[in-house]
Amino acid sequence: MIDLYTFTTPNGRKASIMLEEVELSYNVHTIDITKNDQFTPEFIAINPNSKIPAIVDQDTGITVFESGAILIYLAKKTGKLLPTSDKEHFQVLSWLMLQMGSVGPMLGQLNHFKKYAPEKIPYAIERYEKETLRLYSVLDGQLQNRDFLCDDYSIADIATYPWIAIYNFQGLTLDAHPNLKRWVETMQQRPAVARGMAVPG
């Protein structure tokens, strides 16, 4: 049994989508970051960095935080969605790290400055929107001749999808990126993705 500590954010939804895809049983513990639940001593004991998601695997006693590490852990635990041959393995990890190092941080900054910052700073909004659209182009190019980011559906797709799926929320469109738009529609049709995106309920 997996204990999942999460909230309704793109990073949180990566973990719940993965758990649904690999069909592991899990308990959901809602960490409401709008109420600073992530700063309680109980949660800090699970993740000293006070960020969601985090998991505790009751079968092994292992605690994992950082969404990318959680995806890798669950893939290794189940033998699913992360190839074992070096070429495919590191292709998936490369696109996973692109999400962790670029897609998440840049789109997250756009969210902050466009939606939540107490003062609208045009330079910041323009900077992060321009970088978001550049990343859309990178992903669109990768998806030109394939259904998923790598040769097969993988943790790279699971990591990236929740961030791209919020394009409407960010006031953006995928019309100029038809391959990315098609990929989003494909991902939306996966039952496990739909279930994972609804966590926590």
* Residue 7: domain span: 2-81
CATH number, domain of 16, equals: 3.40.30.10
Average pLDDT, the chain: 98
The arithmetic mean of pLDDT across residues 110-134, rounded, is 97
Is 90 exceeded by the pLDDT of residue 15? yes
Does 46 lie in the same domain as 60?
yes
The total domain count for the chain is: 2
Does 32 lie in the same domain as 74?
yes
Q: pLDDT of 52-99, one tens digit each?
A: 999 999 999 999 999 999 999 999 999 999 999 999 999 999 999 999
Is 90 exceeded by the pLDDT of residue 139? yes
pTM of the model: 0.96
The CA distance from 189 to 160, in Å, is 16
Give phi and psi for 106, each to the nearest 5: -70, -45
The arithmetic mean of pLDDT across residues 182-193, rounded, is 98
Residue 199, domain member (yes or no) = no
The CA distance from 15 to 56, in Å, is 12
* CA 77 to chain centroid: 19
Does 72 lie in the same domain as 151?
no
The arithmetic mean of pLDDT across residues 181-188, rounded, is 98
Residues 6+ apart with CB under 8 A from 35: none
Q: Using only C-alpha atoms, what is the Rg of the chain?
A: 17
Does 182 lie in the same domain as 95?
yes
CB half-sphere exposure, 181, CA atoms < 13 A? 9
Token couple for 105: 């941080």
Question: How would you classify the pairing of strands 62-65 and 26-30?
Answer: unpaired
Does 165 lie in the same domain as 130?
yes
Does 149 lie in the same domain as 60?
no
Does 90 lie in the same domain as 185?
yes
What is the reported pLDDT for 71? 98
Does 165 lie in the same domain as 75?
no
- How wide is the angle at C-alpha 37 spanned by C-alphas 32 and 39, nearest 5°? 145
